[in-house]
Amino acid sequence: MLANVNATRMELLQLRRRVALASRGHRLLSEKRDEISRNLIQIARRIHPLRKRVEQELLRTCRRFMLARASMEPEDVKAALAVPTKKFNLAVTFANIMNVKVPQLAKQMEGEIICYGFANTSGEMDVALMALERALDTLVELAEKEKQARLLAVELQMTRRRVNVLEHVVIPEIRETIKFIYDKLGEAERDNISRLMKIADIIRA
């Protein structure tokens, strides 16, 4: 590779600019990598307790529904849940974390979750539906944080690769080429001095 390099001062100047640019890019990418890592750690710390909370809330909700089914006739359960009156929408916006677009989720609900009369239903069904509504809040937050973590993890991996390529491949190769050109130019300079000295000796003779 080095044998094909033009050992000229113009090439040396261009390589100096390239290594300065690569070093600056390496510094900026390193800062980006560190900032993404910091944000990812913060999000990861929130995910574990959220997941545990979601599991607990959904488990309680399932138990409440089992109690409701046990205390009601099957046809009454089916009739009570046949025509829901509560509408659920998920609004998605995006935030920017180190040039990574991460989603922010917000649930939008309209109407009442209890959509039946009280004549043929038990209080356990009311409690189960209210527990489900509360669990949705935590579930949406967990989904948001997990998606953010996945996107940041992918970006972190890509940024690490770029930093490593610059640090261990690009910058060392450019510096090696610069050293090669320095050596070649120094050798050519010494040859010129030697030639001039010989010419001076001939003139003096």
Rounded to 10 deg, the angle between the 171-204 and 9-70 helix axes is: 180
| Lookup result for tokens 């490593």 | 164
Q: Are the beta carbons of 132 and 63 closer than 8 angstroms? A: no
Residue 205 belongs to some domain of the structure: no
Identify the weakest region by mean pLDDT among 56-60, 111-115, 141-145, 183-187.
Answer: 111-115
- pTM for the model: 0.75
Q: How far apart are CA 117 and CA 105, in angstroms?
A: 33
Residue 46 belongs to some domain of the structure: yes
- The domain containing residue 40 runs over which residues? 2-196
Coil, strand, or helix at residue 96? strand
Q: Residue 151 has what pLDDT?
A: 96
Q: Are the beta carbons of 139 and 84 closer than 8 angstroms? A: no
Q: Residue 65 has what pLDDT?
A: 84
Reported as a pLDDT band with limits 50, 70 and 90, residue 119 is low
Q: What is the pLDDT of residues 8-52, one digit of tens each?
A: 888 989 999 999 999 999 999 999 999 999 999 999 999 999 999
- Could you tell me the CATH number of the domain that includes residue 57? 1.10.287.3240
Residue 181 belongs to some domain of the structure: yes
* Tally of structural domains, the chain: 1
Residue 186 belongs to some domain of the structure: yes
Q: What is the pLDDT of residues 47-106, one digit of tens each?
A: 999 999 999 999 988 888 888 888 777 887 777 777 777 777 888 999 998 889 999 998
Q: What is the pLDDT of residues 133-166, one digit of tens each?
A: 888 889 999 999 999 999 999 999 999 999 999 9
Mean pLDDT for the chain? 86
Residue 6 belongs to some domain of the structure: yes
Q: Residue 120 has what pLDDT?
A: 67
Higher-scoring residue by pLDDT: 200, 50: 50
Helix H segments across the chain?
9-70, 74-80, 123-165, 171-204
Q: Residue 205 has what pLDDT?
A: 63
